[in-house]
Amino acid sequence: MAARPPLKLLMLHGYTQSGPLFHAKSRALIKHITKAFPLHEVSAVYPTGPLRLNPADIPGYTPQEGSGALDSDEAEIEAYGWYRRSNTAEPPLYVGLEDGLDAIAKVLSEEGPFDGVIGFSQGAAMAAMVVSLLEEKRQDAFARFAPASASASGVEGFVYPASFAKLSHPALKFTLCYSGFRSPGDRYRAFYESPPIQTPMLHVLGSLDAVVDESKSGSLIEACVGNPEAEGNVVWHPGGHFLPSQRPYLDAAVRFIRECLEGGVQKDKAKDEDDVNDMDLPF
C-alpha cells in the first residue's frame, strides 16, 4: 500500500500562549482537518515563541495587594510571545521580531517542508509575515522599502531576515489567520506591498473581538492579492477573540484548504458537508 502524502501544518500561537496551549485550543480544528483528508497523513507542529513573558507583560495584569517583588510562582509563568510591541516607539516597533522569525525559520528548516500555516492573533500576524517572506521576489520588496527615504515617516524599513535568506523552503500553499492583523507603520511595508501577499489566506474573524478590531483585521485583508472578501476568504463568527470550534467554521477551514490543494476540485468521499453560505450566520 502506497504511503499517504503528507499534509503538514505549522501552528503559531497567540501572545501569552505557548505551543502546548495552542495545541489544546486548536484540537477541534486539527481533528476536523484530519477527518476531512483521509488520503493524507495530517500532522501539526506547534513551536513556542522565543519571548518568555513576565506577569507584568500580560494585558490586564495587576500585582497582588500588599506584595512587593513578585514571588517565584508569579515570576515563572508559561506565557510566551513572538515579539513585544513597544509602547513608546512611533512608528510602531516590534521588539524581538527578528528572534521570533528566526525561531520559525529554524522550525521550517528542521521540520519542513510544510504545506500551510495556521495562526491565531499575534501568531496569525506572524503567519502572514512568514508566507510573505517565502514568496518569490519578496527580497526585492524589502530592498525597495529599506531606505529611510522610501518612508513617509523617514524610518528605515525592516531588513529581510538572514535566517529566511538561507532557507530552501518552498512557498507555502495556504495560510489560515484567526484574528489576524497587519504589522502597522512604514517599517514593515515590505511584508505586504509591491507585491501584495500572494499566498492564499483565509481570514476568520470574531464580530465581538475586543482585542483585534475590524480595522486592524481589514488592513491585513487589504494586503492580500485580489479581493478576499468577494472570493469568500473572509469568514465572520459571532464571538470574540478565540478559535471558533462550531461545525460551520471548521468546514470553512477544510473547504479553503481543499481548494488550495486541489484547485477547487471537490474529492471528499465522506458525506456532503453543510454549505457555510447557506447557514444563517454573520459571515
Strands (E), 84-221: 84-85, 94-95, 116-120, 174-178, 201-206
Angstrom distances, CA of residue 99 to CA of 50, 159, 164, 184: 7, 13, 12, 19
The catalytic residues are: 121, 209, 241
What is the rounded distance in angstroms from the CA atom of residue 126 to the CA atom of residue 247? 26
Residues 6+ apart with CB under 8 A from 203: 177, 180, 217, 220, 221, 228, 233, 234, 235
Grid coordinates representing 238 are 459571532
